[in-house]
Structure 1
């Protein structure tokens, strides 16, 4: 055993320095530094790591990052100071700094970020209790990814200087920023932008970034005034996500490149404004919608291939979407509401009332949370009986509906007539949380005991 251990140790120690530093860079910083006690050979190997991760938070203890408990701010500060003092890499790939304690001085945080910039950092992730940032950060020539987030419940906003130029920045995530528009024209290759804007403005919010491909707008609050607008001048935009309390109309100039969009509506928002956004998104191929309750007719989406409806949806709303998406191929629904029942089996002479997508394009349906009630049964019977090119229906049913001794739900669904002879039905289970709260848990993992398909039909009956 001793000889084998020595051989393994020798073999590892004989690896080239750049290989060893790459291996240590994949480890949490705490453990990478800990290798210095192994032998003289390893004493300073960690100083060449290219990824640094410092975490002083109260988050889950399962996180495999450097952590300290309350009262150890001084120990944490000394550790970070020591690592940065001895770090000899000339190009830092990533630097992550998450601190939820106000006991760590702001001067130390500023110094650490400044050191990361001096080490030519490429990816910087900062989550701390403060609003000030070193000026060197905003002129960093190597930075490609930047994420700024206030820690925990800190409501301070990031302050940007008047001089900003980040020539290599491609991804920018900002949470709570006083002047988010200051970045315009300062990041010539920016492709992805996430803004969490929690400020009130008295003028139009104009975003003009010619290179941008992905945009996430979160929690935008603007004065309740119809004269205020959110104007997007993003000719290369491919993905758009909008969420929050919207009190202003959208204007999107030249969105012909837009492929995918996702909108989630706050209860405080005006329905007609979200309907206006939908009207601007007519050309997308994939659309995800959550918490949307519309009263006006939906626009036609001539290019829509995939639709995801998150949350609980009334059957009448689902029908409207089907009628508005003639090219729809994939439909994903969280759950169907029991409040309204409009799904009926169509007679041959009424086939013209069936949405066009169900006759020619719809091939896949997924229901994430099926309760097995009357509305679910009617919806499934309607879709199976009228979708003529359907290939697969995946149903994540409440666990007790798939009990092996009494699979009544599966048996009933498998007996429904199918308009498509090639349609396969798959059953999976999802579980309520142990607390039995009204919030439902995510889909559980597949298991043989709760999985049924057409091949199981004989046994199920």
Structure 2
């Protein structure tokens, strides 16, 4: 070993135990345990970690048969590994216990309850469980130390799972549940809950009611149910600040006193009933920030008197964009994805010349996040730059295949567009896509990391 390597090794070994524990707690538990083979000094260092992050979900669809064979041969080692990791853990307060097990690991299910019980005995604060299971030990739902809980349970033979009859989580502030059949069972069971994410499915026989006075952040994933558009999602959340709605819009929203609402995001892929779009937007007309994806509407938009930031993701036509601009007189920031400006010529001349009020007095920032440089994009930029009178910054994120650095003609064409605002600055950025993740598997015996 070189002297430089020895010095680095000495420097690491000289760090206080709590610092080393924090470093190892940032790693997946498997890697943290492997440091025990470095030297005698490191043999038991990992046992003081405060995070136990155990992920056994690695698989690739194109190699299902190979991976299934690989998984079946290692389940026993994996069970031994988790058993020993929990047994040797010296900390009395585990900050995070994360357990993710893929669909192939059916034999592991019988051990899950014991592992979760062990984590609860270690005064766990955050639980993140994604397993093949349709029930969990009662200790999860009566844990006095839990502040964050994420549950995603599934089983091939079951449509969903249910909360037990006994639930009380006095310190829980964040709850994320997937695949639960009775989410309303949490009412009154989490007295300090602030953040909630859950799936809801409505039918015409029973409305979905959510009554949580302490809630500040809410995400609802709407599943397609048997509703004919007459069902209701009733929200009694007087302190709510942010609302996210995703999925299939098939119910009315009833919200009592949403004056505290600051921002909302709607990403419903479709709705069988156009009037439900108008209904939910009317309920959200007081928000300051709004993000909408894949929105299809025929009804007039409400006025958003407090709107400061609007994000439109997906593909938007000229008429839809201008309707939103006309409905947001105080808008300052516009973030937009793809534009379809082909209907621009179809507008009546006097209609197309009307300039929304926000473009005359308030709109200072535009972010065009997915510019292809085609005719529609150029028409959009010509309209916005030529009419926004107080615009300060336009940032154009071009698709990677446009390669702004190698296509100065595109930049020059945009820079030649007349601007209504003399102080407008145009910035160009390349929007790079993340590289595809390669699948790798590691057939190392998990149990070998232990002496």
Q: Matched residue of 2:107: which SS?
A: coil
For 1:412, the equivalent position in structure 2 comes to 413
Q: Flag the 1:403–1:105 CA change in 2: closer, same or farther, 3 A.
A: closer
Kept after mapping to 1: 8 A contact 2:51/2:94: yes
Aligned positions of 1:294-309 closer than 5 A: 294-309=297-312
Kept after mapping to 1: 8 A contact 2:126/2:148: yes
Task: Determine the C-alpha separation between the residues in 2 that align with 1:283 and 1:420.
Answer: 29
For 1:450, the equivalent position in structure 2 comes to none
Q: Which runs of 5+ in 1 are unaligned?
A: 61-67, 431-441, 446-461
Task: Determine the C-alpha separation between the residues in 1 that align with 2:30 and 2:316.
Answer: 48
Describe the superposition over 1:180-207 as per-residue Cα deviations: whole angstroms up to 9, x where unpaired. Answer: 0111111011000000235757311000
For 2:81, the equivalent position in structure 1 comes to 79
For 1:196, the equivalent position in structure 2 comes to 199
Task: Determine the C-alpha separation between the residues in 1 that align with 2:24 and 2:406.
Answer: 52
Q: Matched residue of 2:255: which SS?
A: strand
Aligned positions of 1:41-56 closer than 5 A: 41-56=41-56
Higher mean C-alpha deviation, range 154-163 or range 295-304: 154-163
Describe the superposition over 1:280-330 as per-residue Cα deviations: whole angstroms up to 9, x where unpaired. Answer: 001101100011111010000000000000011010010000000000001
User: In the alignment, is residue 233 of structure 1 matched against residue 236 of structure 2?
Assistant: yes
Deviation at 1:44, TM superposition (A): 2.1
Deviation at 1:405, TM superposition (A): 6.9
Task: Determine the C-alpha separation between the residues in 2 that align with 1:410 and 1:136.
Answer: 61
Q: Matched residue of 2:380: which SS?
A: helix
Kept after mapping to 2: 8 A contact 1:385/1:417: yes
Kept after mapping to 1: 8 A contact 2:404/2:411: no
Q: Flag the 1:380–1:59 CA change in 2: closer, same or farther, 3 A.
A: same
For 2:164, the equivalent position in structure 1 comes to 161
Task: Determine the C-alpha separation between the residues in 1 that align with 2:202 and 2:115.
Answer: 29
Of residues 128, 131, 140, the one that matches 1:125 is 128
Q: Matched residue of 1:219: which SS?
A: strand
Deviation at 1:343, TM superposition (A): 9.4
For 2:439, the equivalent position in structure 1 comes to none
Structure number with greater CO (CA < 8 Å, separation at least 6) is 2
For 2:423, the equivalent position in structure 1 comes to 422
Q: Flag the 1:398–1:24 CA change in 2: closer, same or farther, 3 A.
A: closer
Task: Determine the C-alpha separation between the residues in 2 that align with 1:340 and 1:142.
Answer: 57
Q: Flag the 1:248–1:11 CA change in 2: closer, same or farther, 3 A.
A: closer
Deviation at 1:233, TM superposition (A): 0.4
TM-score, length of structure 1 as denominator length: 0.85
Q: Flag the 1:354–1:102 CA change in 2: closer, same or farther, 3 A.
A: same
Task: Determine the C-alpha separation between the residues in 1 that align with 2:434 and 2:96.
Answer: 34
Deviation at 1:361, TM superposition (A): 0.3
Task: Determine the C-alpha separation between the residues in 1 that align with 2:218 and 2:321.
Answer: 27
Aligned positions of 1:50-65 closer than 5 A: 50-59=50-59
For 1:97, the equivalent position in structure 2 comes to 99
Moved over 4 A (4+): 1-8, 151-156, 198-201, 342-347, 398-406, 442-445
Kept after mapping to 1: 8 A contact 2:202/2:227: no
Kept after mapping to 1: 8 A contact 2:152/2:179: yes
Task: Determine the C-alpha separation between the residues in 1 that align with 2:406 and 2:139.
Answer: 67
Deviation at 1:220, TM superposition (A): 3.1
Aligned positions of 1:175-254 closer than 5 A: 175-197=178-200, 202-254=205-257
Kept after mapping to 2: 8 A contact 1:242/1:262: yes
Kept after mapping to 1: 8 A contact 2:209/2:235: yes
Q: Flag the 1:382–1:152 CA change in 2: closer, same or farther, 3 A.
A: farther
Q: Flag the 1:10–1:337 CA change in 2: closer, same or farther, 3 A.
A: closer
Q: Which runs of 5+ in 2 are unaligned?
A: 61-69, 436-451
Describe the superposition over 1:383-421 as per-residue Cα deviations: whole angstroms up to 9, x where unpaired. Answer: 111111001112233456556676433323222221110
Describe the superposition over 1:192-244 as per-residue Cα deviations: whole angstroms up to 9, x where unpaired. Answer: 00002357573110000000000000133343244421100000100000011
Kept after mapping to 2: 8 A contact 1:176/1:197: no
For 2:332, the equivalent position in structure 1 comes to 329
Of residues 287, 290, 299, the one that matches 1:287 is 290
Kept after mapping to 2: 8 A contact 1:288/1:310: yes
Kept after mapping to 2: 8 A contact 1:344/1:378: no
